[in-house]
Amino acid sequence: MRNATLYPFDISEIVLETVFSQKFDFVFIDAQKSQYGDYMEKIQRYLCPENTLLLDDVIKYQNKLT
C-alpha cells in the first residue's frame, strides 16, 4: 500500500512534472466543478492502469459539469 500524499493547490497553475514523480492509484479532486474535465485531462498520465477517481459533489452539482 502506498502512502497518501496531499497536494493542496490548484494543478492548473503549476507544472505537474515538478511535483509528481510517481503514478497514483487513487485521486480525490475537490475543485471548481466546471474545471473537473481540465483536471482529469492533466492527471491522466499520472494514473496507474488500475485506479479510482473520486470527484467531490458531482451528483449535487451535476449542472455545473461539462
Residue type present at position 33: K
Q: Rounded to whole angstroms, how far apart are CA atoms 59 and 22?
A: 30
Residue-range domain boundaries for the chain: 14-64
Pick from 2, 63, 59: nearest CA to 27: 2
Give percent above pLDDT 90 in the chain.
9
66 against 56, higher pLDDT: 56
Task: Please give the pLDDT value at position 35.
Answer: 81
Task: Please give the pLDDT value at position 50.
Answer: 93
Most confident segment among 10-14, 23-27, 35-39 = 23-27
64 against 15, higher pLDDT: 15
